Amino acid sequence: MQRFPHNDEGQGLVEYALILVLVAVVVIVILALLGPAIGNIFSNIIDSLNTAA
């Protein structure tokens, strides 16, 4: 006889939350590392468009 019933209902939600947090951390790290480079690329494109006009 079990004293506590086995309940797995919340387990899937916790796993999805952990995966979501991991993905968010990876995206934040990538943006922190590549953010300035991406900003420079867009600045160069805008400068090129302004000089061509």
pLDDT at 40: 93
Instruction: Name the pTM for this structure.
Output: 0.57
Selected residue with higher pLDDT from 37 and 2? 37
pLDDT at 23: 98
Give me the sign of the Cα torsion angle 34, 39, 42, 48. negative
Task: Return the DSSP state at 7.
Answer: -
Report which residue type is found at 50.
N
pLDDT at 20: 96
Average pLDDT over residues 27-49: 93
